Structure 1
Amino acid sequence: MRVFCSRFASPLLAALAYSQLAFGANTTNDEPVLLLSEDSDFHFQLLAGLAESVNGGADIGPILGAAKDLKAGSFESFHQRFYALANDTKAAAEDPENSYDPVNVRDTWFSAATYFRMADFYLHGNWSNPLIKSLWVEQTAAFDQGLAALPIPGERIRIPATNSNFTVEAIWYAASTSNGKNSKLPTLVIGNGYDAAQEDSYHTFVVPALARGWNCITYEGPGQPTVRRNQEKGFIPDWENVVTPVVDWLLSKQKHNVDKKQLVLLGNSMGGYLAARAAAFEPRFSALILDGGVWDIYSAYTGQLPDELLSLFESGNSAAFDETINNLLDGDDMPTSLRWGVEQGLWTFHTHSPFDFLTQTKQFRLKDVVEKIKMPVFVADAEFEGFFPGQAEQVKEALGDKATLHTFTGVAGYHCQIGAPQEMARTMFAWLGKTLSKTKTCQRSSHHYKC
């Protein structure tokens, strides 16, 4: 990791840079893989892009080529390099000679979509930037071309949230039914967290699930990419209002061949809180996967604030706190992970006030509802977890025997196993196979399992 603090005249800025408010990817000096950038946050995002190549969402050489020309800390250079790559890949996808092969069509358009998402990643500090919406239009159109070229085309759906003022944006993926059209198949409901799109979930979770005969539905709620852009909705803590409508939709559609006794919810990154919260109020799930475990979002942020800034926040002086943070953001020497983390938080929680952003996160804590979670839970932890360190263990302890804690180490030890999706998939589906086989022999009620 780069050492930024020596360049800062402000002691507060130096303290913030050291604490890495926005949770840099891996804040140790012992990186498990070859660094792709001297900027640790760029390294993490480049590794995430490379990981999409495992399941048809990118190519390795183009991402490494873009990485070669990045200027550490320059959000504009990251945007420009991946915007150029996205447009080059889009042009290749539009080449008539490409259209004769559906695999060419699918992989090229999916890659273009990935590069458009990467071009957007660091742009959310200026809400009026038209690229925030135009790049998303591009990525969505490109991804939809890939969806249409799947052996069983994916289907975008919009599900009104009951008694809520938003609509869930989702994508349905049907698995092949080798035993006839009336076969009932296990189904995975997949949600992300702070920044990733549901299109990313296709390459991380959906492809390996389809290969194992699982249906999938990915979704986005308030604060997440499409809902935040199209509906101007920031994150809400009561995530059951997002997930329960998805379950209702799944089980009301007989044509979807959903086995209601093998319905599994997965939450990725901050989605580890969101999914756990939803599962506390949604007993129709047979199992829950948290990648990773998130106990308290507020404490994760404030636990890394310098004492003087935390004291200022806790004093309730919102004007002074906002002025201090905004002055830091206006500087040129902010670490990438700090700048991005604050800007992304303001954008996804739909507020221009850092004080309000942190205040909102107080509502995102699992301890208030954890006792209501009754199904088996897989909790993933990571050796180099830099976003919610130590929280997976807290989740496991609170859940007791209902939970299995698995710590990924070494090259799979980044947050959410970035760069090692095959290891995550192998581990997750091995646990699901064992767990669902066991629960089939259990007597299920609407509240709990008894074996």
Structure 2
Amino acid sequence: MTYVSADRAPGPSRRSALAGLVGGAAVLAGCTSPGAKPANAPTPSGARSPQSPADDPTPGVMTLFKEPAYNFSCLWALGGAGFSAAEVGEVLTAVNAVNKAGLSAQTYVKTFRELGDKVTGPPPGSKPDDQTTRFRALRAAQYYAQALFFVLGSDDPGSEEDLYKAGRGAWDRFCDLCDPAPVKANVPYGTTPLPVWFFRPDPSNTRRPTVILTNGSDGQNVDMWTYGVAAALDRGWNALVYDGPGQGQLLFVDQVVFTPTWEKVVGPLVDWLSERPDVDPSKIGLTGLSMAGDLAPRAAAFEDRIAALVAMPGCVEPWLGFPAEVREILTPSKEETNRIWNEEVVPALSPADAATMKKRIEPFSVPAMLAAREGRMFTDFYTPARRIQALTITDIVPRIKTPTLVLDYEDEQFYPGQAQQMFDALTAPKDYVKLTAAEGAQLHCSPMAPQVHCEVVFDWLQGTLG
């Protein structure tokens, strides 16, 4: 994105700089389904930034939609096909339907919600057995997640919780039909327990290495299947999936937002795992996907029972994932910050930009989430902005003593440079791997190459924990 210089008049600068944020890159990062590379984004005037086709991070058939936010999200779904979490033909047919109808939040949500409903049922001319029903449920969870990400910009933002529950129901149906089915439990955490799904390769009490899989700021459980569970089971490992504050059930139903003290989330999970006879408590790994590349390292800095850590990617300051013009709204004064937000910024936002801001802020503010479901813009920018700032771990990274793998991605569009910054600050045994376009693994979290992603991560975990 081409940013407007900070020395210009506050009103015009903010109004012009915030124009086209949805089409631009990452109004807010730390997620699994946002925009595309900043250099690809429209400038405030609407003209494209100079860039040769050879530099396009999603060339040719990788561009499913001209709008980068939708394109990135749909590439995420397409990549899940390698782990049976999508069907290539279903996704591409949905893409064609959306493009034919005209791309918008409404057409995207409607198309993928209907696809989720359809896949929940049997295939044509078939009496599905449990295996068919199982994987159709997994695909349905993916398609509901696609719709969920954009629902606040649709004609029915109030359906957000119901849409989440549809995806959660599909995920639970998939889990119930696994063999063995994952152990479902609620792990104590404050006044709101953490729902967990504990996957095992078999139901014996053999002690095994275990990986705790931490999702990002708006990922769903199906993403953890693609980015860890299937790979762990293939290697004879256990895998724990959970919803933490600001995620899944805790956000959409229990209305609990993110906390910066993620060690208080991971600690109870390690307690629960350590009591199980099928877990080797000396071989518990922790991964963090997307914004959890900040959360998991924070937890490992204070939870010394973690034996291996993977940040995917390394992230030390999620607040920098916002464009500079958004960050400049925040002042030391809550009153002044919210005046700027409500009087200068909000009136200039297009409906699409407004929907993006609602989505990006909701994991950090229950009032913002509830207002968005009613079709209104939140009025308190200051409080969630400070909450995001509190996730900064620049000074905490040197405290990590756990062997750590830091992943980075070519064309990383949300936290550029932060993976290297984390790696340089680590004092523990450490490795750094950058996944590139040569493997089709470019962009935040390698949405088109989760198999390559898991190969790198689990080869390292296997070598570290044995």
- 1:176 paired residue number: 202
Shift of 1:310: 4.6
- Counterpart Cα distance in 2 of 1:130 and 1:157: 29
Question: Is the partner of 2:445 in helix, strand or coil?
Answer: helix
In structure 2, the CA distance between the partners of 1:433 and 1:319, relative to structure 1 (3 Å rule), is: closer
TM superposition score normalised by structure 1? 0.85
Question: Is the partner of 1:381 in helix, strand or coil?
Answer: strand
CA contact (8 A) 2:397 2:426 kept: yes
- 2:339 paired residue number: 320
Choose the corresponding residue for 1:114, options 128, 142, 147.
142
- Counterpart Cα distance in 1 of 2:217 and 2:58: 24
Question: Is the partner of 2:132 in helix, strand or coil?
Answer: helix
Shift of 1:299: 2.9
In structure 2, the CA distance between the partners of 1:380 and 1:305, relative to structure 1 (3 Å rule), is: same
- Counterpart Cα distance in 1 of 2:434 and 2:254: 37
Shift of 1:93: 6.6
1:75 equivalenced with 2:105 (yes/no): yes
In structure 2, the CA distance between the partners of 1:94 and 1:374, relative to structure 1 (3 Å rule), is: farther
Gaps of 5+ in 2: 2-12, 30-34, 41-55, 369-379
Please list the CA deviations of residues 415-449 of structure 1 after superposition, one character each: whole Å capped at 9, or x if unmatched.
01111011111111221222224xxxxxxxxxxxx
Choose the corresponding residue for 1:22, options 18, 28, 39.
28
Please list the CA deviations of residues 318-347 of structure 1 after superposition, one character each: whole Å capped at 9, or x if unmatched.
222321332244x2463xxx842x222321
- Counterpart Cα distance in 2 of 1:40 and 1:110: 25
Choose the corresponding residue for 1:60, options 88, 94, 101.
88
Question: Is the partner of 1:61 in helix, strand or coil?
Answer: helix
CA contact (8 A) 2:257 2:364 kept: yes
1:190 equivalenced with 2:213 (yes/no): yes
1:48 equivalenced with 2:99 (yes/no): no
- 1:103 paired residue number: 131
In structure 2, the CA distance between the partners of 1:356 and 1:126, relative to structure 1 (3 Å rule), is: farther
- Counterpart Cα distance in 2 of 1:204 and 1:238: 24
Moved more, 225-234 or 122-131: 122-131
1:345 equivalenced with 2:360 (yes/no): yes
Question: Is the partner of 1:314 in helix, strand or coil?
Answer: coil
| Residue type at the aligned position of 2:298 | R
Residue correspondence of structure 1 range 21-420 to structure 2 within 5 A: 21-23=27-29, 24-29=35-40, 30-33=56-59, 34-70=62-98, 74-92=104-122, 97-98=127-128, 101-124=129-152, 129-161=157-189, 164-176=190-202, 181-254=204-277, 257-301=278-322, 304-306=323-325, 310-314=327-331, 316=333, 317-323=336-342, 324-329=344-349, 331-332=350-351, 334=353, 339-340=355-356, 342-350=357-365, 351-352=367-368, 353-400=380-427, 402-410=429-437, 411-420=440-449
- Counterpart Cα distance in 1 of 2:313 and 2:26: 20
In structure 2, the CA distance between the partners of 1:108 and 1:372, relative to structure 1 (3 Å rule), is: same
CA contact (8 A) 1:120 1:131 kept: no
- 1:447 paired residue number: none
Gaps of 5+ in 1: 2-7, 438-451
Q: CA RMSD in A?
A: 2.6
Question: Is the partner of 2:280 in helix, strand or coil?
Answer: strand
In structure 2, the CA distance between the partners of 1:9 and 1:393, relative to structure 1 (3 Å rule), is: closer
- Counterpart Cα distance in 1 of 2:181 and 2:25: 45
Residues paired across the two proteins, number:
414
Using the aligned pairs only, state the percent identity.
27
Please list the CA deviations of residues 9-35 of structure 1 after superposition, one character each: whole Å capped at 9, or x if unmatched.
952334856575335222345124421
Shift of 1:153: 0.8
CA contact (8 A) 1:166 1:222 kept: no
- Counterpart Cα distance in 1 of 2:281 and 2:170: 33
| Residue type at the aligned position of 1:185 | R
Question: Is the partner of 1:384 in helix, strand or coil?
Answer: coil
Shift of 1:261: 1.6
Question: Is the partner of 1:210 in helix, strand or coil?
Answer: helix
In structure 2, the CA distance between the partners of 1:94 and 1:149, relative to structure 1 (3 Å rule), is: farther
1:430 equivalenced with 2:441 (yes/no): no
In structure 2, the CA distance between the partners of 1:328 and 1:405, relative to structure 1 (3 Å rule), is: farther
Shift of 1:183: 2.1
- 2:8 paired residue number: none
Shift of 1:369: 2.1
Question: Is the partner of 2:390 in helix, strand or coil?
Answer: coil
